[in-house]
Amino acid sequence: MNFRVIRDSIRRVLAQNADGEFDVVGYQKRGKGASAVVSKNRLVEVYYNRGDFPKSGGSLDGPNKHDPTFRIDLTVAEPSKGDTTTIESPTATAAQVATALAAMKASDALADDSMDELFERVYSILMDASQIDFDLPVGVVASRWVNQFNKDEAIERGNYTILTASCLLTCSTSEQVQGFTGVQAGNIMDVTVEIETDTPGKAGARTGS
């Protein structure tokens, strides 16, 4: 179906225009931990999130109008400057905790700036006029639009501050109803229930195939 073709084209367009600023999940040889997501090695993931099939835009035998929504997940990581041991220590002084918290906030700010930069790059690629159809044949995709950008709370993992975010990309396409090929059924069990009138209150079951 076209929504799968569009999904793959979005991934390809992002990967081809990343220019070393990020990696696209599905276009890398192996998974990466936080240490490999730092700075310009940031991650972008694209997947089909949901779709609307308005009844007014199709027929029982197709083609049918499809308004797919693709979710784009973004991940950045920055070396953590906070000392969580000090923050969690019951013997740490107020001054020590304040210093550790300030350093951690600095790391959060770096991750936040990195995320803003990453989203700006991804948005610019997807909404560029040259990508109005994601390099697909004319008529496959229309009305593409990026919306609803949301950031999650920064989290500390090991020696890194990790920040994730997501945005939605909507568009329109047309889906053909391809149908399916049926398979031959196996043996059918014939079950009949026979009431034995000579013995009230009893019933027997006889099966045959």
Are the beta carbons of 161 and 77 closer than 8 angstroms?
yes
Whether 124 has a pLDDT exceeding 50, the answer reads: yes
Percentage of residues of the chain with pLDDT beyond 70: 76
Whether 119 has a pLDDT exceeding 70, the answer reads: yes
pLDDT of residue 192: 62
Percentage of residues of the chain with pLDDT beyond 90: 47
Query: What is the residue whose two structure tokens read 């496959």?
Result: 140
User: Residue 41 burial by CB count (10 A; 0-12/13-18/19+): exposed, middle or buried?
Assistant: middle
User: Residue 114 burial by CB count (10 A; 0-12/13-18/19+): exposed, middle or buried?
Assistant: buried
pLDDT of residue 78: 87
Q: What is the pLDDT of residues 136-193, one digit of tens each?
A: 999 899 999 999 999 999 887 767 889 999 999 999 999 987 766 656 666 666 656 6
pLDDT of residue 29: 45
Q: What is the pLDDT of residues 51-70, one digit of tens each?
A: 999 888 777 776 899 999 99
Burial code of 117-140, b = ≥16 C-beta within 10 A, e = fewer?
A: ebbebbeebbeeeebebbebeeeb
The structure's pTM equals 0.72
Q: What is the pLDDT of residues 197-207, one digit of tens each?
A: 565 555 555 55
Burial code of 61-87, b = ≥16 C-beta within 10 A, e = fewer?
A: eeebbbbbbbebebbbbbebbbbeebb
Question: Helix 94-126 and helix 2-16: axis angle, to 10°?
Answer: 110
